[in-house]
Amino acid sequence: MLRRLLSPKWCGALLLAALFAVAAYHLGWWQYHRHEAKVERNARLDAHYAADPVPLTSALTPAGYEAGSNWTRVTVTGEYVAGPVFARGRPNEGAVGLEALWALRPDDGGPDVLVDRGWVAPSGAGASVLPDVAPAPGGTVTVTGWVRPSEASRDKPPAPGQIANLSVPDAAMALRTPLLPGYVLLQRETGPDGASPPRPQALAPPDRSLGPHQAYAYQWWLFMAAGFVLVGLGVRREERLANPERYPPKAKKVRIWDEEDE
């Protein structure tokens, strides 16, 4: 069998099995890294999502957005100065609609910050028709929410009052005001009297599922041996067919009821 295994035919099959094993190894790690990223996301949510809010300036500054600030719960007081502009194609609770965005000017004189006040359903009269939305409160308001990173721009010409993705630079252009590099996803807002004004529908909590990535990783790693097993079975079968005298067929087992029939 070893001589047969070293033939050009089966050496080629071994090479293919080795290439498949290498690919399965890397695919397994790719899936496992995706699993690790979701574990890290959940750990960040556990640390930040329900924590006491911190001042906005401690998590988001004009210098940039830190990845570790994602989902940090923050608070900021100021006035809404521009909006709304709508980010299109946003899912929420199984439906697709728009998210309503405003620019808030903090009382401390810092740069304006983009606030995502929630989700609204499409108008139903076409993509160019803006939906009805509860207006932002006038005067001073205290916003509590979570810091989120800007999404990449899709570089699409926006319809009036709309942007194609939740890109802070695109929103800054549409609202005609400079904005901090991340945005705040609204949890609640209160006026000086402590009352909460009407707002668009709140977005669903972030997804915490880990998905099947860990199981897929283990499956790919198990598949690493599959090619070699198939080669071994193929060589064994070919050897048996080529040498029937050395590998006689097994005698058929006679069952009790077969003997009784005789």
Tens place of pLDDT for every residue, the chain, 262 residues?
666 666 677 677 888 889 999 999 999 999 999 999 888 888 877 878 888 999 998 888 888 777 678 889 999 999 999 989 999 889 898 899 999 999 999 998 879 999 999 999 887 666 677 888 888 998 999 999 999 999 998 877 667 889 988 999 999 999 999 999 999 999 999 988 888 889 999 998 887 788 889 999 999 999 998 888 887 777 777 767 666 666 676 666 666 655 555 5
Tell whether pTM > 0.85: no
- Contact criterion met (CB below 8 Å) for 99 and 82: no
Which residue type sits at 119? Answer: W
User: Secondary structure of 97-154 in the HEC alphabet?
Assistant: EEEEEEEEEECCCCCEEEEEEEEECCCCCCCCCCCCCCCCCCCCEEEEEEEEECCCCC
Tokens of 248: 């006689």
Q: How far, in Å, are 12, 51, 149, 176, 218 from residue 43 at the CA level? A: 47, 13, 17, 37, 23
Q: How far is CA 142 from CA 52, 136, 178, 200, in A?
A: 15, 12, 20, 17
DSSP 164: S
Residues 56 and 238: beta-carbon distance below 8 Å: no
Instruction: Please count the other Cβ atoms lying within 10 Å of the Cβ belonging to residue 87.
Output: 25
Q: CA–CA distance from 76 to each of 100, 104, 200, 232, 233 (Å)?
A: 18, 9, 19, 67, 68
